[in-house]
Amino acid sequence: MAQIFKLPDVGEGLTEAEIVSVKVAPGDTVSINDILFEVETAKSVVELSSPFEGTVETVHVSEGETVEVESPLVTISGGQDDAGSAESAPTADTAAAGSASTGGESQKILVGNGPSADPVKRRARKKPAKTAPAPSPAPAPVNSAPVQQSSAQLEAQQERKLLRGSLGESLGGLTEKASALLEERLRKNSSRGEVADRPVGSIPRRPTLAKPPVRKAAQDMGIDLAHVTPTGGHGQVTKRDLLNYAAHVRDADTSSEAPTAETPDSFWIPAGACGDRIERIKVRGVRKATAKAMVNSAFTAPHVSIFVDVDASRTMEFVKRLKKSRHFEGVKVTPLLILAKAVIWATARNPQVNATWTDSEILIKHFMNLGIAAATPRGLMVPNIKDAQDLSLRELALALNELTVRAREGKTQPAEMSQGTMTITNIGALGIDTGTPIINPGEVAIIAFGTIKQKPWVVDGEVIPRWVTTLGGSFDHRVVDGDLSARFMADVAAVLEEPALLLDE
């Protein structure tokens, strides 16, 4: 029997997914749990495995296509009957009926089990009524002169259109008398067949006025200055005229097709003719979901931001000691590990920063699903470490490494990015001092970790070089007011200045 595998909801309330790759083709034999597709949702790339076994009959989607949940992906035939399935494969009779009804095209007809299927089969066996054969076209006339004459007239009409457009653009239009004389000359030439034999480009026209730099730019961009409307003095084409025309052609090209009789060849410039000055990237997948979430957060939650400079010299010394410790052998240790532990420690002292606003109530969460913003080729992703408050320093380091590696490889699953409670964005990895991050939807706080570098710092009245970083925090002012956000940031800074405070856990 034939069984149809439909796109499941691979995340929480997802409505669509893009087909990244198709792993099977019609005729392939598949088993249960064989990978059939890779799909990109708004959160991650997910592999879809087969729930059936048998032979692939039809693949309903192609790579790059965006499909909605419950859309058919593949039809698999030849497997064991599913107890809950009421669909069956088409029989030879119904397949023949489908071919007859569609004029030879293959059409799939699913017939239900039971007596109700018999009338369908009987109707399918009926032969189509004979129809009278279509009259054969009349033979072409032996004398082809009238056809040649018609072709010449059509080309003359086309040339008149081109000439009117070109001269109208470059010279600002002709007088009625000049137009009449030109029409008369073209009519006489077309009657003699001269216009049809002469290329359009040979029609004489007055050179367009433009300065040498503008001419050079037009040549590099592949633009004929005769098509550009001049706005300069004495009818000169300026640089601005050229750029405006190039932008107009590029925008028109994205929404237009190949030239038609109403759109002559000389006015249609293919994509890329004006240079690769603008790259268009389709908004989809992670980027589309991120944009929607950030706009919603920025214009829904009233953000308030706080910044603090921190002497992180002792954190840098602590990281060096951890790297040499046998307990951390083979484990990647960075200052981000200490910051993550500091955020967990400060949250325990200020629980209200780990909450969600719901209009009717504030949900304070006594667990920490710590999100780490990770830059990936597919865009910014924020997987989180579940129950981070229960992890030791070494366990937290291992979780951070695994989380970032999986995110950069594009293997993060939707469940790993859901139910986050607070986020850290490590902009210091790119050499940035600080920033104003946007809160993730459903959370009320996010911390930006700036780069750590040596700066002059006053210690006991003396200016000495110290390892200094800047922390930036954004908070939802509906939940976290100024006093609470300041105390939270001060606690995080205190741990970076003195990691020994972590012994107080």
The total of other beta-carbon atoms located within 10 Å of residue 295's CB is: 11
Mean pLDDT, rounded, for 201-220: 70
SS3 state at 16: strand
Q: Does domain 2-89 have CATH number 3.40.50.2300?
A: no
- Lowest-pLDDT range of 26-30, 247-251, 297-301, 445-449: 247-251
* Identity of the amino acid at 64: G
Mean pLDDT, rounded, for 119-127: 41
Higher pLDDT, residue 48 or 233: 48
- Please give the positions annotated as active site: 477
Cα–Cα distance measured from residue 437 to residue 306, given in angstroms and rounded to the nearest whole number: 11
Higher pLDDT, residue 269 or 3: 3
Please give, one letter per residue, the 3-state secondary structure of 249-311. Answer: HHHHHHHCCCCCCCCCHHHCCCCCCCCCCCCCCCCCHHHHHHHHHHHHHHHHCCEEEEEEEEE
> In terms of Cα–Cα distance, which of 175, 173, 165, 172 is closest to 230?
172
The confidence score (pLDDT) of residue 317 equals 96
List pLDDT tens digits, range 293-320.
778 787 788 899 999 999 999 999 999 9
Looking up tokens 């200052």 gives 335
- The full set of domain ranges for the chain reads 2-89, 148-267, 285-504
On whether the CB atoms of residues 456 and 441 are closer than 8 A, the answer is: no
On whether the CB atoms of residues 445 and 353 are closer than 8 A, the answer is: yes
Q: 70: alpha, beta or left, given left = phi > 0 and alpha = psi -120 to 50?
A: left
SS3 state at 243: helix
- Give CATH for domain 285-504: 3.30.559.10
Tell me the Cα Rg of the chain: 35
> In terms of Cα–Cα distance, which of 325, 220, 287, 276 is closest to 18?
287
List pLDDT tens digits, range 73-94.
999 987 654 434 434 434 434 3
Mean pLDDT, rounded, for 491-498: 96
- Lowest-pLDDT range of 30-39, 94-103, 326-335: 94-103
Mean pLDDT of the chain: 76
Q: Is the pLDDT of residue 149 over 50?
A: no
Q: How far is CA 37 from CA 40, 47, 53, 64, 501, in A?
A: 10, 6, 15, 12, 50
Beta bridge partners of residue 466, listed in sequence order:
455
H or E element that contains 459: strand 453-459
Q: How far is CA 65 from the centre of its chain?
A: 12
| CB within 8 Å of 195: residues ≥ 6 apart | 152, 155, 156, 159, 186, 189
On whether the CB atoms of residues 353 and 347 are closer than 8 A, the answer is: yes
Q: How far is CA 496 from the centre of its chain?
A: 38
Mean pLDDT, rounded, for 415-431: 90
The confidence score (pLDDT) of residue 154 equals 59
The total of other beta-carbon atoms located within 10 Å of residue 94's CB is: 22
Tell me the angle at which helices 335-349 and 482-497 cross, rounded to the nearest 10 degrees: 140
> In terms of Cα–Cα distance, which of 9, 61, 82, 65 is closest to 282?
65
